[in-house]
Amino acid sequence: MDRVKIIEVKQSVFANNDQRADQLRQELKQQGIFLLNLMSAPGSGKTTTLKRTVELLRDELKIGVMEADIDSDVDAKAMAEAGVKAIQLHTGGMCHLDADMTRQGLDVLAKEAKVELAILENVGNLVCPAEFDTGAVKNAAILSVPEGDDKPLKYPLMFQVCDVVLINKIDVAPYFDFDLEKCREYIRMRNPNARVIPICAKTGEGVELWAAWLREQVSAWRS
Amino acid sequence: MHELGIVFHIIDSVEKVAADNRLEKVSAVVLELGEVSGVVPEYLTDCWRWAASKSPLVEGSALKIEPLAAVTHCDNCGKEYSTVIHGKTCPYCQSGSTWLLTGNEVNIKEIEAY
């Protein structure tokens, strides 16, 4: 047998995915599609927030939603009821989506309808989705009051990669030891550029502000 | 399950490198793993054994993990310290304006092939 050959690689495991994500972003730019990647822990209100968001934007933008879950289609059904194109992506046990899986989802979505704003509801998880660039134009995270104001300290990467953080369920803040100012400070520590918007998806409080942010981003990307 | 996704990406990269270098069989993959990369080495090698068996190129190969220490740099006093021991706050000057110098890497260092 020949001697063992050693090939120096010195490459991040995420390099290939990062490349594919950049490629996808370029294509989306040419096609005039804005892709938002929405991430959070399970149960923080991604689907409820999305329902509110599309109610405010569906008359001015063609919206398509990709729901990523390990199993079931309850989220896609909920979005379809809200009146937007929705598809369900099953990750087959994986805890995140990568650029290739996102591309496959966008292809399916494109067959159903021409969209201007595509929203990816990532798998409920604060660790893995932050590591894999999906090709999204902007990343958003939801942190809900019952989860605690120290989440940005415990899951630094998630808050580093986010352009905007929605603090959801602020209506129940009086019942929890949640300090909004402290939470803002912790987010600033991780990412000084992240916009923080407190909302209550259930009552609709603050959602206008978030929809305005998104509207601005979409129009900047498509211009 | 987080580690499984990473293993798939490693195999993906290794397949690319192998194609570029005309390798037919890989005997080991050497991975540099940062202390605060959030990846658990034991889970990673378990997933590797399973996933590698599905790819003829890497089947039966070893995943060798070389740990990399996590070091944080303080912008305020200019010193460096161990991230795992002290976290985000500088132990010398108590400043919070610190950033991770090394420690979140998941790098394929080299590939051993016949």
Assign A94 a pLDDT band (cuts: 50, 70, 90). confident
B113 part of contact set with chain A, CB < 8 Å:
yes
Question: Within a domain: residue A7?
Answer: no
Q: Report whether B55 contacts B16 (CB < 8 A).
A: no
**CA angle at residue A162 from B14 to A118, to 5 degrees?**
80
Q: Is the pLDDT of residue B61 over 60?
A: yes
Number of separate domains in chain A = 1
Domain extent, residue A209, equals 15-222
**Chain A residues close to B70, C-beta within 8 Å:** none
Rounded-to-integer distance, Cα A128 and Cα B3, Å: 9
Over residues A34-45, the mean pLDDT reads 95
Question: Within a domain: residue A8?
Answer: no
Q: Report whether A104 contacts A98 (CB < 8 A).
A: no
Question: Within a domain: residue A5?
Answer: no
Closest CB from B13, B23, B104 relative to A11: B13
pLDDT at A193: 95
The CATH number of residue A144's host domain is: 3.40.50.300
Over residues A112-137, the pLDDT tens digits come to 889 999 999 998 888 888 888 999 99
Question: Within a domain: residue A21?
Answer: yes
Q: How many CB atoms lie within 10 A of CB A112?
A: 11
The residues facing A144 across adjacent strands are A168
Question: Within a domain: residue A108?
Answer: yes
B46 exposure class (CB count in 10 Å sphere: 0-12, 13-18, 19+): middle
Helix axes A46-57, A74-81, angle to 10 degrees: 20
**Chain A residues close to B16, C-beta within 8 Å:** 16
**CA angle at residue A37 from A149 to A94, to 5 degrees?**
90
Percent of chain A beyond pLDDT 90? 67
**Dihedral, CA atoms, B82, A141, A67, A48, nearest 10 degrees?**
140
Instruction: Say what the ipTM of the complex is.
Output: 0.80
Question: Within a domain: residue A57?
Answer: yes
pLDDT at B1: 56
Over residues B66-113, the pLDDT tens digits come to 999 999 999 999 999 999 999 889 999 999 889 999 998 999 999 999
**Chain B residues close to A12, C-beta within 8 Å:** 105-108
Interchain CB contacts (distance < 8 Å): A and B: 82
Percent of chain A beyond pLDDT 70? 99
Q: Cβ separation of A8 and B109 shorter than 8 Å?
A: yes
**CA angle at residue A188 from A187 to A189, to 5 degrees?**
90
Å from A211 to nearest chain B CA?
32
| Domains of chain B listed by start with CATH number | 2-69+103-113 (3.30.2320.50)
More confident residue, B88 or A92: B88
Q: Position A52: which residue type?
A: R
**Chain B residues close to A4, C-beta within 8 Å:** 27, 112-114
pLDDT at A75: 79
Q: Is the pLDDT of residue A81 over 90?
A: no
What's the sign of the alpha-carbon dihedral A72, A78, A80, A84?
Answer: negative
Q: Which helix (H) or strand (E) holds A26?
A: helix A15-31
pLDDT at A1: 52
Q: Report whether A99 contacts A132 (CB < 8 A).
A: yes
pLDDT at A189: 87
Q: Report whether A34 contacts A222 (CB < 8 A).
A: yes
Question: Within a domain: residue A1?
Answer: no
Over residues A165-210, the pLDDT tens digits come to 999 999 999 999 999 999 999 999 889 999 999 999 999 999 999 9
